[in-house]
Structure 1
Amino acid sequence: MRLVRPLASLAAACLLSSTALVPLRAQEAPPAAPAPAAPTTPPKLIVAISVDQFSANLFAEYRNRFTGGFARLLDGQVFPSGYQSHAATETCPGHSTILTGSRPYRTGIMANDWIDQKAARADKKVYCAEDETVPGSTSEDYTVSDRHLKVPTLGERMKNANAATRVVSVAGKDRAAVMMGGHKVDELWWWGGKGFVSYAGRTMPAVVQRANAAVTRQIATAQPALDLPALCQARALPVQVGTRTVGTGRFERTAGDAGAFRRSPEFDGAVLALAAGLIQDMKLGQGATTDIISVGASATDYIGHGFGTEGSEMCLQMLALDRSLGDFFQVLDATGVDYEVVLTADHGGQDIAERHAQHGMPEAQRQSANLDVKTIGAAIGQKLGIAGPVLLGGVNGDVWYDIKLTAAQRAAVEREAIARFSADPQVEAVFTRKQVLATPMPGHSEPQTWSLLERARASFDPQRSGDLLVPLKPRVTPVPLPVGATVASHGSFWDYDRRVPILFWRKGMTPFEQPLGVETVDILPTLAALIHLPVPAGEIDGRCLDLDAGPGDSCRR
Structure 2
Amino acid sequence: MMKRFILLFTVLALFSTGSMAQKKPAPAKKTSSTTLNRPKLVIGLVVDQMRWDYLYRYYNRYSEGGFKRMVNEGFSAENTFIPYTPTYTACGHSSIYTGSVPAINGIIGNDWYDPQLKRGVYCAEDTTVKTVGSDTRAGLMSPKNMLTTTITDELRLATNFKSKVIGISLKDRGSILPAGHSANAAYWYDGGTGDWITSTHYMTQLPTWLTDYNKLKMADKYFDKNWNTLYPIETYNQSTADDKEYEGKSRGEQTPTFPHPFKLYAGKNYDMIKSSPYGNTMTLELAKLAINAEKLGQSGSTDFLAVSCSATDYVGHQYGPNSIEAEDTYLRLDQDLEQFFNYLDTKIGKGNYLIFLSADHGAAHVPGFMAENKLPGGLFNDSPVIKSLNTTIEEKFKVKKAIITSTNSQFYFNHQAIKDANADFDAIKSLTIETLKEQDGIMDAVDLSKLASSTLPEPIKKAITNGYNARRSGDVYYILKSNYFEGGKTGTTHGAWFPYDSHIPCVFMGWNVKPGKTNKTHYMTDIAATLAAMLHIQMPSGCIGEPITELTHQ
The TM-score by the shorter chain falls in which range?
Answer: 0.7 to 0.9
Q: Which residue does the alignment assign to 2:3? A: none
Q: How far has the Cα of 1:416 moved from its partner?
A: 1.7
With over 3 angstroms needed to count, the CA separation of the structure-2 counterparts of 1:132 and 1:511, relative to structure 1, is same
Note the aligned Cα RMSD (angstroms). 3.1
Distance in 1 between the 2:129 and 2:183 partners? 21
Distance in 2 between the 1:60 and 1:393 partners? 40
Equivalent position SS for 2:519: coil
Q: Which residue does the alignment assign to 1:145? A: 142
Q: How far has the Cα of 1:335 moved from its partner?
A: 1.0
Q: Give the alignment partner of residue 378 of structure 2, picking from 357, 365, 370.
A: 365
Q: TM-score, normalised by structure 2?
A: 0.84
Letter in 1 for 2:148: V
Q: Which residue does the alignment assign to 1:203? A: 205
Q: Does 1:352 align with 2:366?
A: yes
Equivalent position SS for 2:467: coil
Distance in 1 between the 2:29 and 2:60 partners? 26
The Cα offsets for residues 301-346 of structure 1, whole Å up to 9 and x where unpaired, read as: 0001011011110010010000011111111111134110001000
Q: How far has the Cα of 1:396 moved from its partner?
A: 5.8
Equivalent position SS for 1:115: strand
Q: Which residue does the alignment assign to 1:335? A: 347
Q: Give the alignment partner of residue 438 of structure 2, picking from 423, 426, 430.
A: 423
Say whether the 8 Å CA contact 2:277–2:333 is kept in structure 1: yes
Q: Does 1:71 align with 2:85?
A: no
Q: How far has the Cα of 1:290 moved from its partner?
A: 0.6
Q: Give the alignment partner of residue 532 of structure 1, picking from 530, 536, 545.
A: 536
Q: Does 1:432 align with 2:447?
A: yes
Letter in 1 for 2:124: A
Q: Does 519-528 or 385-394 show the bigger shift?
A: 385-394
Q: Does 1:466 align with 2:474?
A: yes
Say whether the 8 Å CA contact 1:380–1:413 is kept in structure 2: no
Q: Does 500-509 or 490-499 show the bigger shift?
A: 500-509
Distance in 2 between the 1:228 and 1:252 partners? 17
Q: Does 1:270 align with 2:267?
A: no
Q: Does 1:42 align with 2:42?
A: no
- Trace 1:226-245 onto structure 2 (pairs within 5 A): 226-229=229-232, 230-232=234-236, 235-237=239-241, 238-241=243-246
Q: Does 301-310 or 523-532 show the bigger shift?
A: 523-532
Q: Give the alignment partner of residue 498 of structure 1, picking from 496, 502, 522.
A: 502
Q: How far has the Cα of 1:18 moved from its partner?
A: 7.8
Q: Does 1:294 align with 2:291?
A: no
Equivalent position SS for 2:415: coil
With over 3 angstroms needed to count, the CA separation of the structure-2 counterparts of 1:491 and 1:539, relative to structure 1, is closer
Q: How far has the Cα of 1:395 moved from its partner?
A: 6.5
Q: Give the alignment partner of residue 451 of structure 1, picking from 450, 455, 459.
A: 459
Distance in 1 between the 2:398 and 2:247 partners? 37
Q: Does 409-418 or 210-219 show the bigger shift?
A: 210-219
Unmatched 5+ stretches in structure 2: 1-6, 19-23, 32-36, 131-136
The Cα offsets for residues 355-405 of structure 1, whole Å up to 9 and x where unpaired, read as: 1222220x21122x4654542443334433645432133376221101332
With over 3 angstroms needed to count, the CA separation of the structure-2 counterparts of 1:317 and 1:336, relative to structure 1, is same
With over 3 angstroms needed to count, the CA separation of the structure-2 counterparts of 1:117 and 1:458, relative to structure 1, is closer
Q: Give the alignment partner of residue 130 of structure 1, picking from 121, 125, 131.
A: 125
Q: Give the alignment partner of residue 214 of structure 2, picking from 212, 215, 224.
A: 212
Q: Does 180-189 or 226-235 show the bigger shift?
A: 226-235
Q: Does 8-17 or 540-549 show the bigger shift?
A: 8-17
Q: TM-score, normalised by structure 1?
A: 0.84
Q: Does 158-167 or 217-226 show the bigger shift?
A: 217-226
Say whether the 8 Å CA contact 1:101–1:542 is kept in structure 2: yes
Distance in 1 between the 2:30 and 2:17 partners? 30
Distance in 2 between the 1:431 and 1:406 partners? 19
- Trace 1:82-101 onto structure 2 (pairs within 5 A): 82-101=80-99
Instruction: Quote the sequence identity (%).
Output: 24
Q: How far has the Cα of 1:166 moved from its partner?
A: 0.3
- Trace 1:169-208 onto structure 2 (pairs within 5 A): 169-193=167-191, 194-200=194-200, 202-208=204-210
Say whether the 8 Å CA contact 1:236–1:312 is kept in structure 2: yes
Say whether the 8 Å CA contact 1:177–1:294 is kept in structure 2: yes
- Trace 1:243-258 onto structure 2 (pairs within 5 A): 248-253=257-262, 254-256=264-266, 257-258=269-270
With over 3 angstroms needed to count, the CA separation of the structure-2 counterparts of 1:273 and 1:96, relative to structure 1, is same
Say whether the 8 Å CA contact 1:396–1:472 is kept in structure 2: no
Say whether the 8 Å CA contact 1:247–1:310 is kept in structure 2: no
Distance in 2 between the 1:424 and 1:103 partners? 29
Q: Does 170-179 or 228-237 show the bigger shift?
A: 228-237
Equivalent position SS for 2:442: coil
> 1 or 2, which has the higher helix percentage?
2
With over 3 angstroms needed to count, the CA separation of the structure-2 counterparts of 1:458 and 1:492, relative to structure 1, is same
Say whether the 8 Å CA contact 2:149–2:542 is kept in structure 1: no
Equivalent position SS for 2:98: coil
The Cα offsets for residues 238-274 of structure 1, whole Å up to 9 and x where unpaired, read as: 2213996977444431242423321001001111111
Q: Does 1:156 align with 2:153?
A: yes
Distance in 2 between the 1:438 and 1:464 partners? 21
Say whether the 8 Å CA contact 2:113–2:407 is kept in structure 1: no
Q: How far has the Cα of 1:300 moved from its partner?
A: 0.7
Q: How far has the Cα of 1:236 moved from its partner?
A: 4.8
Equivalent position SS for 2:506: strand
With over 3 angstroms needed to count, the CA separation of the structure-2 counterparts of 1:396 and 1:336, relative to structure 1, is closer
Q: Give the alignment partner of residue 325 of structure 2, picking from 310, 313, 323.
A: 313
Q: Give the alignment partner of residue 117 of structure 2, picking from 119, 127, 142.
A: 119
Say whether the 8 Å CA contact 1:236–1:248 is kept in structure 2: no
Q: Which residue does the alignment assign to 1:5? A: none
With over 3 angstroms needed to count, the CA separation of the structure-2 counterparts of 1:472 and 1:463, relative to structure 1, is same
Say whether the 8 Å CA contact 1:39–1:509 is kept in structure 2: no
Q: How far has the Cα of 1:222 moved from its partner?
A: 5.4
Q: How far has the Cα of 1:165 moved from its partner?
A: 0.7
Equivalent position SS for 2:45: strand
Q: Does 423-432 or 410-419 show the bigger shift?
A: 410-419
Distance in 2 between the 1:119 and 1:326 partners? 47
Say whether the 8 Å CA contact 1:10–1:210 is kept in structure 2: no
Distance in 1 between the 2:169 and 2:257 partners? 28
Distance in 1 between the 2:199 and 2:453 partners? 40
Say whether the 8 Å CA contact 2:84–2:465 is kept in structure 1: yes
Q: How far has the Cα of 1:502 moved from its partner?
A: 0.4
The Cα offsets for residues 506-552 of structure 1, whole Å up to 9 and x where unpaired, read as: 0573210112221111111211122211338x841111113647xxx
Say whether the 8 Å CA contact 1:308–1:351 is kept in structure 2: yes
Distance in 1 between the 2:394 and 2:309 partners? 46
Distance in 1 between the 2:407 and 2:208 partners? 45
